[in-house]
Amino acid sequence: MEEKELVQACKRKKQAAQKQLYERYYEIMFRTCFRYLGNSHDSEDIVVEGFLKIFEHIKKFEYRNSGSLKNWMKTIMINESLMHLRKNKRILFSDDEYILEQKYHIDETLEIQDIHKAIAQMPIGYRTVFNMYVVEGYSHKEIAESLNISEQTSKSQLSRAKKFLQKMIKDLNYERQAI
């Protein structure tokens, strides 16, 4: 079924269409939630809650093009993930500085899984801002409004996230060279 038809069928509350939408987008939505939450259990829960919200509000969704549905759903998943973090008081913004003044050579054998692993190990405040800015493309103003922080805090958390990521990758390079 084409995406536009799928949306229309979901608006009519057709269970087969809802199941198809869920199965088609589950992996993408799970990865989106996982980037923010950092663990599979919470991510699975939030994806289910997010899809319930999607099915509840799909009647308000206006299909514009092939990317509009995915983007709308990702926004819901991000908001659900952020609400979960807030509710559990897990978003902490750190003043810790990871001192990394020099530039590091990055091993060409670095795998995407290594980068995901390093991002997952970031403190939650760093990871949240990093994902919103780098992965999702939010501006610092949008991040500040969404997280109820200042734009400067958003910028500093992003800077610290990048330094943290550099350090993790540097450490990984040293581990590989030692092997």
pLDDT at 95: 55
Compute the distance between CA of residue 11 and CA of residue 29 in angstroms, rounded to an integer: 20
Contacts of residue 40, defined as CB under 8 A and 6 or more positions apart, other chains included, come to 34
Compute the distance between CA of residue 133 and CA of residue 161 in angstroms, rounded to an integer: 11
pLDDT at 103: 41
pLDDT in tens, 48-98: 999 999 999 999 999 898 889 999 999 999 999 989 988 876 655 655 544
pLDDT at 90: 60
Which CB contacts under 8 angstroms, 24+ apart, belong to 37-40? 37/81, 37/84, 37/85, 38/120, 38/124, 38/127
pLDDT at 72: 96
pLDDT at 53: 97
pLDDT at 50: 97
pLDDT at 107: 47
- Residue ranges in the chain modelled with pLDDT below 50: 97-108
- What's the count of helices (H) and strands (E) in the chain, helices before strands? 8, 0
Amino acid symbol at 12: R
pLDDT at 158: 94
pTM of the model: 0.66
How confident is the prediction for the chain on average, in pLDDT?
85
pLDDT at 105: 43
DSSP-based helix, strand, coil % in the chain, nearest 5:
75, 0, 25
pLDDT at 11: 96
